[in-house]
Structure formats: C-alpha cells, structure tokens
Homo-oligomer: A and B are copies of this chain.
Amino acid sequence: MTEFIPRATRFVDLPDGFPMRAGGTLHGARIAYESFGRPSPAGDNVILILTGLSTDAHAASHPHDPGPGWWEAMLGPGRPIDTDRWHVICVNSLGSCKGSTGPASIDPRTGEPYRLDFPELSIEDIADAAAHTVRALGFERLACVIGVSMGGMGALSLLTRHPGLARSHVNISAGVHSLPFSIAVRSLQRQAIRFDPQWNQGRYDTEHYPCRGMLTARKLGMMTYRSAREWDSRFGRARLSPERSCDEGPFGLEFQVEGYLDFHAQRFLHRFDPNSYLYLSRSMDRFDLGESCGTTAEEALARLHLEKALVIGVESDILFPLSQQRELAEALGAGGPGVEFLALESPQGHDAFLVDVARFGPPVAKFLSVGW
C-alpha cells in the first residue's frame, strides 16, 4: 500500500492502546503534522489547524518542503495567519493516509495493512489524537484552534472534550453535525467506491486500485465543493477541443465542465487511499456534537466560554449551508461575548476558503491580530 506523506511531515506517537470512541484501540499509532513559525518562549503563540477530509498536514511551503501547501496564501510570514507571530501546527487527521495512522497503515498485530479491520473512526478520535499531538509537542494551551470543513467538526469536538486547551476558535464552513443532503452526497461517494469491483471489500492494491469508484466519488465531491453560479461564468456551455473530447468512446467528455471535473478527479487517483476515504467520510456523517456531549449542541457550545471566536460561512456552500454556521455562532455567543459571524458572498461554495483569499484573508488576519 502506497503512503502519501509530504516531505517535511513529522510525527508524534499516540499512546499505546489509544482508545477509539466506538470501540477498539490502536497500537503503535502516530499522527503526522507540520509546523510553521517559532514558538514563543512562553509557548503562548500556538495555533492548531484541523483540516478537511482529503488534506494533508502540508498547509504551506516550508524550509524543508518549498512546495506550495493547501492553504499557502493564508499561512506564512506576513500572511493572514502570520508565522512571524504565530507558531502554527497543522495536523493530518487520524484515519487519513497522509502520514497519520489509518486503514492503509500496517496493523502491528498482523504485519498487514488494517484495511477494513481498522476500528471505527469518529471525529472525536481525530480530535483526541490532535489534542495529544499538541501536548506531546509541549504545549498545554493553544491561542487558537482553526478548523475548516471536517476540521471544523474536529475543532468543536476538541474544544468540548478538552476544555481549556484553546483560548479562541476560528470555525470555517462547518457545522455541529451533518445534514441529510451532505450525508446523501457522501453515501453516494462511498457507494461508488464500494461498487467498483476493484475495491474488492477493501483488498485492492496499487495495481488493482478502484479508479472508477474514486473518480466518481471525487467528481461528485467537486460538484458539491463548488457552486453552480461559479460554473456558469467559468464554463458556460463551452466545449472541449475535439482531441480532448473523443478519447473516451461513446458518451465521453464533451463540455469544458466535464473536462475540468475529469482532470481534477484523475489527479486525485492514487493519491488517496480509498478505505481511508470511506472511514473519514462516514465519521463526518455520524458526527453530532450534541449527541457526543450527551446534551444539545447549543448547551455544549454555551459551556465553552472561549475568549473569542470567529465563525465563517459562505452563501453558495451547499455541503455545509450558511444556516449551520449561523446557528453555530449563535450557540457560541450564548457562552460569552466576542463571537463574530461572517457570511461571505464567495461564489466558490464550500471550497471558497481554499481559493477566495481576498474574502477570507482579512477577517482571519484581523481576528488573529486584534484583542489578545
């Protein structure tokens, strides 16, 4: 099984017998992370970033890995998350295949990859593993935890399960649970992978990789990460050039929007472990902050008493619609002042935080520079 670890990624071991919320324990597990900027002598300038489902810890370029990261424009010296001031740790989620232990990792009991023998994964496990990572690196208190998309769920879980670990919070394009439309999207993505004969109940290898299932899953994902409005102006009804369109046989690619989806989905192939995708995807469906805290999400959030928080949503997001961020901000606000809610008009939908730096940069920069 190939692993997909960026060059500058480092590792923290999880305690042996790391308990998983839904049962089972992990032995010899580790969490991959990268860090940016320097910790202050008092260790009071630490920011933790929790990522989306398919992202690695390489959030930005690095002296040891100059390749651009997934949040390059947001993170670095003089950038909105300013590494001249902050020491930033970005963690690869437990269960992922980008360096942290997941279904593609070797199960020390058998010497073989876990595959579907990996224990059930919860967002809470991802949060606990991230909290352990921060503490193992010597930090008892974070200035801020920033969570984007799935990482926003993880951040809420971390805040409620590890009270006092973070002073503040930035939550971007997430929610306290998954709504049925996004559950349906992910269910269909998982089905496409499971329906691919090459998936073979999780026993694929590099030569027999479920390409078709992963292509369908990724394209469906992209359709929900962006917005119809963006595509109207970006692609309209423009056709692909004939060479591009006829290499697929009958009913192949014809319009530019089809070529765009195919190009990006093909790039994703062989860069992500399908079983890992299934585990992470289902953990998002199942996450329910209220259920997790044995109360309602509102009550759990009102108890947090953060020094401040910023909740950002995007009007064109169909995966985590704006109503979810509004409700989250209201509930956080019930726990104290200093909670700001921002509805951005980006046309790029759920993915806006990755690309619309013009809209996302200033409020994040302001949140991190004022009022400490």
Contacts and interface: CB of A to CB of B under 8 A. Distances in A.
A169 B195 CA distance: 43
B177 A251 contact: no
B282 A223 contact: no
Interface string A85-117: 000000000000000000000000000000010
B223 A261 contact: no
B183 A195 contact: no
Interface string A174-185: 000111110111
Interface stretch (A23-31, A150-158, A186-194): A186-194
A259 to B, nearest CB: 10
A269 interface: no
A219 B195 CA distance: 14
A223 B221 CA distance: 13
A258 interface: yes
A212 interface: yes
Contacts of A232: 179-181
Given A223-B185, A257-B183, A191 B216 contact: yes
Contacts of A56: none
A140 interface: no
A356 interface: no
B261 A187 contact: yes
B288 A181 contact: no
Given A282-B251, A318-B228, A195 B179 contact: no
B237 A216 contact: no
23 contacts: A180-B228, A180-B237, A180-B256, A180-B257, A181-B232, A183-B237, A183-B255, A183-B257, A184-B257, A187-B255, A188-B216, A191-B215, A192-B216, A194-B250, A201-B249, A201-B250, A202-B250, A220-B220, A237-B288, A251-B278, A254-B285, A254-B286, A255-B285
Interface of A: 116, 177-181, 183-185, 187-188, 190-192, 194-197, 201-202, 212, 215-216, 219-220, 223, 228, 231-232, 234-237, 249-251, 253-258, 261, 278, 282, 285-286, 288, 318, 321
Given A179-B231, A201-B250, 5 more contacts: A181-B231, A184-B219, A184-B258, A188-B216, A194-B251
